[in-house]
Amino acid sequence: MKPSAFALDEEGAPKKSYTPLLPVSFPQEANMDWDFFRAALAGGGVTAVLLSIAGVLGRSQLSHWLNKDIERIKAQFQRDIQIDKAAFERELEAYKVSLIAEAERAKAIQSIKTAGALRMIDRKYEVLNEVCKAVREYASTGVAFCTLVFASGDAFVRRQSWVSEYLQAGGDAIEAVAPFITHDEYGQLLDLHVKVTAAINDRNSFDVALPQPRLDAFRAEIVQLQADVNNLLQDKITAMMEMA
């Protein structure tokens, strides 16, 4: 029997052999680094460092984002300002145009009113002159016709026709001036016309001159009325000439 390569214990079982571990030695610098590392782990330094790095990176990224947002907002503000400015300029220009148009319209209206007023003034002056010429000899014409004795019937008819046309022209002139005078002034002119016409119609009913008492009464009334009408018309014409 070959001897066992292993030592046996008292019970005959092979003994277990152990090789003792030799102590491992590290350089001094390595020991210091590992000590620092272990201290850092023990004291939460890595966490602090990582957090510090994360904070720096976070602030940098946040600053970057903020700067981008600020630039974007500034650009948007600039676009909005330009849009608002353009809209305001358009509205301002439209308002200027409307003001100019309104001014031109007012000017045109005023010109039309002025032109219309001038035409009315011209028309008023014209009709005042016409009525003045038409009625200024009403009294003398009426008295003369009522006192004349005509040599023949034909002469009377011719004279009668002329007087009738004369009174018609006077009546038309009074109606034409009516819009430019007061109601009382119109009544004064109409009163003269009616009384002269009545006296002439009275004369036509006689073959000879109007009887003297009736002629005197007519003359006394009509002469004063004629003077009042002449003064009225002259005052109006003078007032218009002073305005010019």
pLDDT in tens, 93-105: 999 999 999 899 8
d(CA 61, CA 68): 10
Q: Are 148 and 95 in contact (CB under 8 A)?
A: no
d(CA 160, CA 205): 12
Lowest mean pLDDT among 39-43, 48-52, 121-125, 217-221: 39-43
Helices (H), the chain: 28-43, 45-135, 138-147, 153-177, 183-203, 212-243
Structure tokens at 24: 């491992």
- The mean per-residue pLDDT over the stretch 158-180 comes to 90
CA 149 remoteness from chain centre: 74
d(CA 179, CA 124): 9
Kindly indicate the confidence band of residue 29, based on its pLDDT and cuts at 50, 70 and 90: very low
Structure tokens at 128: 């005042």
Phi, psi of 5 (to 5 degrees): -75, -10
List of residues 6+ apart from 240 with CB closer than 8 A: 121, 124, 125, 128
Nearest Cα to 131, choosing from 243, 242, 230? 230
Helix (H, G, I), strand (E, B) or coil at 224: helix
Does the pLDDT at position 142 exceed 80? yes
More confident residue, 209 or 145: 145
pTM recorded for the entire structure: 0.54
Q: Are 222 and 175 in contact (CB under 8 A)?
A: no
- The mean per-residue pLDDT over the stretch 115-132 comes to 89
